[in-house]
Amino acid sequence: MKLPIYLDYNSTTPVDSRVLEKMLPFFSENFGNSASRSHLFGWKAQEAVENAREQVANLINAESKEIVFTSGATESNNLAIKGLFEINYPNKKHIITIQTEHKAVLDVCKHLEKLGVEVTYLQPDYTGLITIEQIKNALRPDTFLISVMYANNEIGTIQPMKKIGELAQEHNILFHTDATQAIGKLEIDVQKDNIDLLSLSGHKLYAPKGIGALFIRKNSRASKLIAQMDGGKHERGFRSGTLNVTGIVGLGEACELAKKELTTDNQRLIMLRNKLESEILQNISDVKVNGNITNRLPNLTNISFGGVDGETLLMSFRDIAVSSGSACTSASVEPSYVLKSIGLSDVMAYASIRFSLGKYTSQAEIDFTIKYVKETVELLR
């Protein structure tokens, strides 16, 4: 067993060796530009792109022509929300979202507020959940978008997506979800959940960094959103720029593997996560699990440790790689805004650690982590 042990899979994942194998030929042998339609090199690249588009679509029960490739979920969120803003403003200028969204949604909303959009940020309960009643109460005649994260990146809470989708459809409002953390971990069906736009990122499901996608429902108002990058009308006019064929191939293969292995992977991850969580709770005093313990991602537990300084605790975990708050805000000295939104004090938010497991996490690593965390916390106390 190698140290340090990696337990930060919600931050990023290693590229699966099978994904890398599929990608390698597109670095040097099949290096063509998929927009080059006049020769074999371009044709091979385009064929690989369309195959990957089908693989991504199959994972979420979409059609391949509803998948637009981007550089990642942050770009997908920007394209979805800003693109809809441009076709709706000023007649419709209201967005509904949640306080615990990723910054890739919250910061977009903050930007649009400067341009005249009004945003309702719903307050979740102490488990991170919002209710349909909250959304109903926030609806306005000028609401053009409901944007709700599928599953939270810090506490893992899964929102009631089907009910939100039904409500949005009933009121003729578009429904967007940042599914970055849910993709590859949960069974997602954009048809069943009435999702109009879905953002995802490759590096959360064992594909490389720098590749993602946006699902855009065909024959809907979502399909009229305005591109945020001009310069070539690639991706049916939604996203200009030479396609990252290598990354796209990797994302497609990762999605196909996830579809095949999701159930068995989840069963193993739940068992390991529950063992880690229950033994920490049993063997260390003054600890608490944050979020919804019955409706959450299978690979994650977020635990607050009382009686220790949070930064000292995190820095003391030299033999395990874990995080406090999301990776995108890890440079900040502020306590997690997600944990504060669900009612934690600054002290307890600082002293909260996210353990996120993955497909390469072993039983031996979990056994070591349980013992190591207990010894470290006791030493600090």
Contact 343, 28 (CB under 8 A): no
Interval 108-165: pLDDT, tens: 999 999 999 999 999 999 999 999 999 999 999 999 999 999 999 999 999 999 999 9
Q: Which of 240, 257, 274 is the last residue of a domain?
A: 257
Average pLDDT value for the chain: 96
Helix (H) / strand (E) containing 175: strand 174-178
Q: In which band, very low, low, confident or very high, does the pLDDT at 269 lie, cut at 50, 70 and 90? A: very high
pLDDT at residue 325, rounded to an integer: 72
Clarify whether residues 349 and 222 are in a common domain: no
| Predicted structure pTM score | 0.96
Given a cut of 80, whether residue 329 has pLDDT beyond it is no
Return the SS3 of 13.
Answer: coil
Q: Which of 226, 241, 257 is the last residue of a domain?
A: 257
User: How many structural domains compose the chain?
Assistant: 2
Q: What's the mean pLDDT in 191-206?
A: 98
Distance separating the N- and C-terminal Cα atoms of the chain: 28
Provide DSSP, 291-304: S-SSSB-TTEEEEE
The parent domain of residue 192 ranges over 17-257
pLDDT at residue 233, rounded to an integer: 87
Phi-psi region at 378: left, alpha or beta (left = phi > 0; alpha = psi -120 to 50): alpha
Clarify whether residues 235 and 215 are in a common domain: yes
Clarify whether residues 314 and 367 are in a common domain: yes
Clarify whether residues 267 and 167 are in a common domain: no
| Cα 344 to Cα 10, 335, 340, 363, distances in angstroms | 21, 10, 5, 31
Phi first, then psi: what are they for 11, rounded to 5°?
A: -80, -50
- Please give the residue that has the higher pLDDT: either 232 or 92: 92
* Percent share of the chain, pLDDT over 90: 94
Q: Write the CATH number for 221.
A: 3.40.640.10
pLDDT at residue 146, rounded to an integer: 98
Clarify whether residues 236 and 138 are in a common domain: yes
Length of the chain: 381
Q: Of 148, 136, 159, nearest to 105 (Cα)? A: 148
Cα atoms found within 13 Å of the Cα of residue 269, Cβ hemisphere only: 23
pLDDT at residue 361, rounded to an integer: 98
**Tokens 């399909």 sit on residue:** 223
Interval 6-17: pLDDT, tens: 999 999 999 999
Contact 325, 177 (CB under 8 A): no
Clarify whether residues 181 and 270 are in a common domain: no
Tokens coding 301: 């537990």
Q: In which band, very low, low, confident or very high, does the pLDDT at 330 lie, cut at 50, 70 and 90? A: low
Q: Which of 257, 292, 322 is the last residue of a domain?
A: 257
pLDDT at residue 332, rounded to an integer: 61
Q: What's the mean pLDDT in 30-56?
A: 95
Q: In which band, very low, low, confident or very high, does the pLDDT at 302 lie, cut at 50, 70 and 90? A: very high
Clarify whether residues 123 and 175 are in a common domain: yes
Contact 181, 10 (CB under 8 A): yes
Phi first, then psi: what are they for 301, rounded to 5°?
A: -140, 135
Q: In which band, very low, low, confident or very high, does the pLDDT at 333 lie, cut at 50, 70 and 90? A: low
Clarify whether residues 56 and 30 are in a common domain: yes
Active site amino acids: 328
Q: In which band, very low, low, confident or very high, does the pLDDT at 232 lie, cut at 50, 70 and 90? A: confident
pLDDT at residue 339, rounded to an integer: 97
Contact 253, 19 (CB under 8 A): yes
pLDDT at residue 211, rounded to an integer: 98
Clarify whether residues 90 and 177 are in a common domain: yes
As a whole number of angstroms, the longest Cα–Cα distance in the chain is 69
Clarify whether residues 58 and 188 are in a common domain: yes
Q: Express the helix, strand and coil content of the chain in percent, nearest 5 each.
A: 45, 15, 40
Clarify whether residues 186 and 41 are in a common domain: yes
Q: In which band, very low, low, confident or very high, does the pLDDT at 326 lie, cut at 50, 70 and 90? A: low
CA distance 86 to 105: 16
Clarify whether residues 51 and 200 are in a common domain: yes
Q: Write the CATH number for 361.
A: 3.90.1150.10
Q: What's the mean pLDDT in 28-38?
A: 93
Given a cut of 80, whether residue 74 has pLDDT beyond it is yes
